[in-house]
Structure 1
Amino acid sequence: MSNPALIVTGADLAQQALDLLKGFEIVYAGKTPTEADMVALCQKHDPVAIIVRYGAVGAKVMDAAPSLRVISKHGSGTDTIDKAAAQVRGIEVRAAVGANAAAVAEQALALLLACAKSVVHLNTRMHAGHWDKATHKSIELHGRTIGLVGLGAIGQRFARMCDAMGMKVIGFDPFAKNLPDHIQSVDLETIWRESDAISLHCPLTPENRGMVNAQTLAQCKKGVIVVNTARGGLVNEADLLAAVQSRQVFAAGLDSFAVEPMTAPHPFHNAPHIILSPHIGGVTSDAYINMGVGAARNVLDVLAQATA
């Protein structure tokens, strides 16, 4: 009897995860699987599980896999999985919660510091032979207020970093419980009104899509810093660009975008005061292992419950 199939929407999986999944036939869909690719693979292999690294998994894919019992995200964000369709079909959706928390929080800190200290601009000027010591002033973060939207594993880890730098940390998350003393829970209006810097750490939902927009940015302090290492859809990109150009926003550090990979040319390209990275906040060697192992354990856990 052949081993049950497990499809990975990617080209690889950490060896530590593969060691946990020795009882499965692992099928790789590649780094850019289309819906048609996934439907064809599901029809051919009828997987009991899918580990999602790249691309989306919707109802058509689920319907092509009658034996499917679990869709396990290789990471923390499940917005690319149609959770409503999964629930109707009795398919459990799991995320590797916290597996990339350290990596993403560090990326958020890197972007925050790069914005506040003009790291990219000054590097470019230095390489061009300039010495701007007499004219440049950076922003000191000590004593400033950082507003966090989303206080899960990543948001709370980032909050500890900001607290260690002497920042006042305020945060909004209607689902967060038992927050540590260094995080003051507030509503969204307070985030916009009081923050010197805002960092997004929440999942993308229909309710918060485009939450950073012309209206909310206008409520912010002039010269606010915006950091997004969560999901690109949280930000209205045209509105953010306009706010940076008007200097309502001092600088933005972005690791996620409305369309990925980012299309070229893009309005953000060569825009001053916007620092970009290609959604690599969770891409470290350690996080790669942690996410793979977390995704594999979620698969095994759900399937064990199904057979219990």
Structure 2
Amino acid sequence: MSAILVTGADLAPQALELLEEHEVIFAGKTPTEDDVVALCAKHNPVAIIVRYSKVGAAAMDAAPALRVISKHGSGTDTIDKPAAKARGIEVVAAAGANAAAVAEQALALMLACAKSVVSLDARMHGGHWDKATHKSLELGGRTVGLVGLGAIGLRFARMAHALDMRVIGFDPFAKNLPDYVQAVDLEAIWRDADVISLHCPLTEDNRQLVNAGTLATTRRGVILVNTARGGLIDEDALLAAVKSGQVLAAGLDSFAVEPMVAGHPFQGEKGFVLSPHIGGVTSDAYVNMGVAAASNALEVLAKQQAPA
């Protein structure tokens, strides 16, 4: 019985049913890259389902039987794709499996920023009544700029359109966009958007896409939402922009270093609404991603075993 390694502590029962002809090895809740390498050396898996940790060349070399690395989600930046390609290992992702969950988190963060949900809640619990002094931001009629128009970005676009927002978006790979999404270049996103929401994968080309230079060209008082990857943002530059008022508020679900450790400069800062990279973590998405990751891995293995 060939082994499949899961870099996590669990997998949806529906996914495990699909893998019943394989020995499923779990790496635990917070596996390190060294843990993954050791488990590869011990079990020589034919497939790795990636939930947490990175999978690099060392893990691939430790598992000569490895044929496919399947991401439990859509972002494959934690997988060394050039190393996999050089070794003939296919990399697949559960694209779209968590689109609804992540788009809803982006919507929640946008609304929390615009409506001061967190700060007003704290004030109310502290016995204050700020009706006479507080004004929230109305989103209807304002422009949201999306960077990335894949399954998640388009789902969020539909939600924003339902709020009567003008939707502009940048994605050089997107085709057949709905009529309520206007394709623009990146400069127009920075220049014209009242809300900017990131929905693109992290690559070496777009690392720290949001930086001091791009933030300086945005409308003063812009809202920034990131449910994609933390590496898309220069965090020092964002902190400075929030403190100066250039950015009204930032709703963030991902960070440059995860998990966030105590003492991070965003902690306790007014203008930041933070969540621990749980945009795609819902009961439905857990099942959808698990089933998709398992199915994708099995599909590659079956294709490679099929007679020529």
What TM-score does the superposition give when structure 2 sets the normalisation length?
0.99
Q: Residue 71 of structure 1: CA displacement?
A: 0.2
Give the residue type in structure 1 aligned to 2:113.
C
Partner of 1:17, secondary structure, is helix
Q: Corresponding residue for 1:189?
A: 187
Q: Residue 156 of structure 1: CA displacement?
A: 0.3
Q: Residue 35 of structure 1: CA displacement?
A: 2.1
In 1: Cα distance, 2:289 partner to 2:64 partner: 26
In 1: Cα distance, 2:258 partner to 2:207 partner: 16
Give the residue type in structure 1 aligned to 2:121.
N
Q: Corresponding residue for 1:239?
A: 237
Q: Residue 38 of structure 1: CA displacement?
A: 1.3
Give the residue type in structure 2 aligned to 1:170.
I
Q: Corresponding residue for 2:110?
A: 112
Q: Residue 218 of structure 1: CA displacement?
A: 0.5
In 1: Cα distance, 2:174 partner to 2:161 partner: 18
In 1: Cα distance, 2:228 partner to 2:35 partner: 27
Partner of 1:222, secondary structure, is coil
Runs of 4+ with deviation above 4 angstroms: none
Please state if 1:180 is matched with 2:178.
yes
Partner of 1:42, secondary structure, is helix
Q: Corresponding residue for 2:159?
A: 161
In 2: Cα distance, 1:196 partner to 1:43 partner: 51
Q: Deviations over 1:268-296 (max 9, x none)?
A: 01000100000000000000000000000
What TM-score does the superposition give when structure 1 sets the normalisation length?
0.99
In 2: Cα distance, 1:304 partner to 1:169 partner: 42
In 1: Cα distance, 2:253 partner to 2:40 partner: 32
Q: Corresponding residue for 1:254?
A: 252
Q: Corresponding residue for 1:147?
A: 145
Give the residue type in structure 2 aligned to 1:300.
L
Please state if 1:32 is matched with 2:50.
no
Q: Residue 39 of structure 1: CA displacement?
A: 1.5
In 2: Cα distance, 1:39 partner to 1:121 partner: 44
Partner of 2:138, secondary structure, is coil
Structure 1 segment 211-290 matched on structure 2, within 5 A: 211-290=209-288
Structure 1 segment 73-84 matched on structure 2, within 5 A: 73-84=71-82
Q: Residue 303 of structure 1: CA displacement?
A: 0.6
Structure 1 segment 296-307 matched on structure 2, within 5 A: 296-307=294-305
In 1: Cα distance, 2:134 partner to 2:30 partner: 43
In 2: Cα distance, 1:245 partner to 1:9 partner: 38
Give the residue type in structure 2 aligned to 1:280.
I
Partner of 1:233, secondary structure, is helix
Please state if 1:99 is matched with 2:101.
no
Residue in structure 1 matching 2:127, options 119, 122, 129: 129
Partner of 1:40, secondary structure, is helix
In 2: Cα distance, 1:145 partner to 1:110 partner: 17
In 1: Cα distance, 2:38 partner to 2:105 partner: 36
Q: Corresponding residue for 2:53?
A: 55
Q: Corresponding residue for 1:68?
A: 66
Q: Residue 255 of structure 1: CA displacement?
A: 0.2
Unaligned runs of 5+ in 1: none
In 2: Cα distance, 1:36 partner to 1:148 partner: 37
Q: Residue 32 of structure 1: CA displacement?
A: 1.7
Q: Deviations over 1:63-118 (max 9, x none)?
A: 00001000000000000000000001000000001000000000000000000000
Q: Corresponding residue for 1:203?
A: 201
Q: Corresponding residue for 1:8?
A: 6
- The percentage of counterpart residues that share the same residue type is 74
In 1: Cα distance, 2:34 partner to 2:247 partner: 41
Give the residue type in structure 2 aligned to 1:138.
S
Please state if 1:45 is matched with 2:27.
no
Give the residue type in structure 2 aligned to 1:33.
P
Q: Deviations over 1:12-62 (max 9, x none)?
A: 000000000001100001122122211111111110000000000000000
Partner of 1:243, secondary structure, is helix
Equivalences, count: 306
In 2: Cα distance, 1:177 partner to 1:89 partner: 32
Q: Residue 181 of structure 1: CA displacement?
A: 0.6
Partner of 1:27, secondary structure, is strand
Partner of 2:40, secondary structure, is helix
In 1: Cα distance, 2:78 partner to 2:156 partner: 24
